[in-house]
């Protein structure tokens, strides 16, 4: 793969909000990491990751090095610039030129931007973080009326292939009984979970009404997307957002 491809949210965010989602094409990584892996923790060659991050900065003309997180499927929110990021699964910024980033390969990247164009954020929402409240934590950290936020749901594992155990279903249903509708019966008392729709439910419950995206499946498109559930050892894509 040699062609760069970046996705841009189809949402009504202000022009000063810059947001992109990488795919797997156009990088220097080889083998199961081919080719635009941006994660340094998955076993890829360090030089290839460094080259991919260099190409990312140049191609998107990033105003600063992205703030890379140590993601742990939790609910901690990092604020940039000004705080050490460390272990966190959401990140927000209120300042021009600070690039927020999360890495994904099946988990759902949730982009957030205020309609006033003065704050942006990202949440890394796998099922654990989603059930624990990572979206609520990210929206809370943005400290504005949720009705003034736009959200875009990036590529994630889709509802036809995301098979989970009963404990996952129970974690959501215990808090929101109506979420049973987002779990289709599978084999051997397992279920197929609709991660994007579960995220939409969470956003709606806290007052975020402008929600877009959520239709791209990482598992089902190996040419464009990394998928941990599909491949095991694999690369990571980056969701990026900043204020210009």
- Taking only the tens place, the pLDDT of each residue in 180-224 is 999 999 999 999 999 999 999 999 999 999 999 999 999 999 999
Measured CA to CA, the distance from residue 201 to residue 182 in angstroms comes to 10
Residue with tokens 């990021």: 85
Which tokens in the block code for residue 142? 């943005």
Classify residue 202 as left (phi > 0), alpha (psi -120 to 50) or beta.
alpha
231 located within any domain: yes
Please give the pLDDT value at position 86.
72
195 located within any domain: no
56 located within any domain: yes
Please give the pLDDT value at position 1.
46
CA 220 to chain centre: 17
Is a pLDDT exceeding 60 seen at residue 2?
A: no
pLDDT tens digits along 28-64 = 999 999 999 999 999 999 999 999 999 999 999 999 9
CB 105 within 8 A of CB 226: yes
Is a pLDDT exceeding 60 seen at residue 161?
A: yes
- Collapsing DSSP states into helix, strand and coil, what is residue 243? strand
Measured CA to CA, the distance from residue 109 to residue 91 in angstroms comes to 11
User: What's the CATH number where 132 sits?
Assistant: 3.60.140.10
The DSSP-derived string for 36-91 is: T---SSSS--HHHHHHHHHHHHHHHT-SS--B--B--SS--EEEETTS---B-SEE
Which tokens in the block code for residue 189? 């008392």
Which tokens in the block code for residue 19? 């947001």
Measured CA to CA, the distance from residue 90 to residue 174 in angstroms comes to 24
Over residues 128-155, the mean pLDDT reads 98
187 located within any domain: no
CA dihedral 6, 11, 17, 22 (to 10 degrees): -20
pLDDT over 90 for what percent of the chain? 96
Residue with tokens 């991050």: 53
Please give the pLDDT value at position 81.
84
How much of the chain is in helix, strand and coil states, percent to nearest 5? 25, 25, 45
Count of structural domains, the chain: 1
Q: Among candidates 240, 222, 235, which has minimal Cα distance to 27?
A: 235
Is residue 14 reached through a cis peptide bond, with omega within 30 degrees of 0 on the bond before it? no
* Per-residue CA distances from 40 to 26, 50, 65, 75, 84 (Å): 17, 8, 15, 22, 18
Q: Among candidates 21, 47, 12, which has minimal Cα distance to 33?
A: 47
Q: How much is the pTM?
A: 0.97
184 located within any domain: no
Is a pLDDT exceeding 80 seen at residue 19?
A: yes
Averaged pLDDT score across all residues of the chain? 96
Residue 77: give the domain boundaries.
Answer: 6-157+213-243
Around Cβ 43, how many Cβ atoms within 10 Å?
13
189 located within any domain: no
């Amino acid at each position: 793969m040699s062609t760069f491809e970046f996705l841009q949210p189809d949402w009504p965010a202000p022009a000063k909000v810059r947001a992109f989602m990488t795919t797997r094409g156009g990088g220097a990584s080889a083998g199961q990491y081919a080719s635009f892996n941006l994660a340094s923790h998955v076993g890829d060659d360090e030089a290839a990751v460094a080259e991919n991050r260099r190409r990312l900065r140049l191609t998107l003309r990033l105003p600063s090095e992205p703030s890379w997180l140590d993601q742990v499927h939790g609910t901690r929110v990092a604020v940039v610039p000004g705080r050490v990021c460390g272990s966190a699964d959401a990140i927000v910024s209120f300042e021009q030129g600070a690039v927020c980033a999360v890495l994904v390969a099946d988990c759902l990247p949730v982009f957030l931007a205020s309609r006033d164009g003065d704050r942006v954020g990202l949440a890394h929402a796998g099922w654990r973080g989603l059930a624990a409240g990572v979206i609520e934590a990210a929206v809370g950290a943005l400290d504005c009326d949720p009705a003034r936020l736009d959200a875009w749901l990036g590529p994630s594992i889709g509802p036809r292939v995301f098979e989970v155990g009963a404990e996952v279903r129970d974690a959501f249903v215990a808090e929101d009984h109506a979420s049973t509708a987002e779990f289709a019966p599978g084999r051997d008392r397992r279920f197929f979970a609709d991660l994007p729709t579960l995220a939409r439910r969470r956003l709606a419950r806290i007052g975020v009404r402008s929600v877009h995206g959520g239709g791209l499946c990482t598992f089902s498109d190996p040419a464009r997307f990394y998928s941990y559930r599909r491949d095991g050892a694999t690369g990571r894509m980056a969701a990026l957002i900043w204020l210009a």
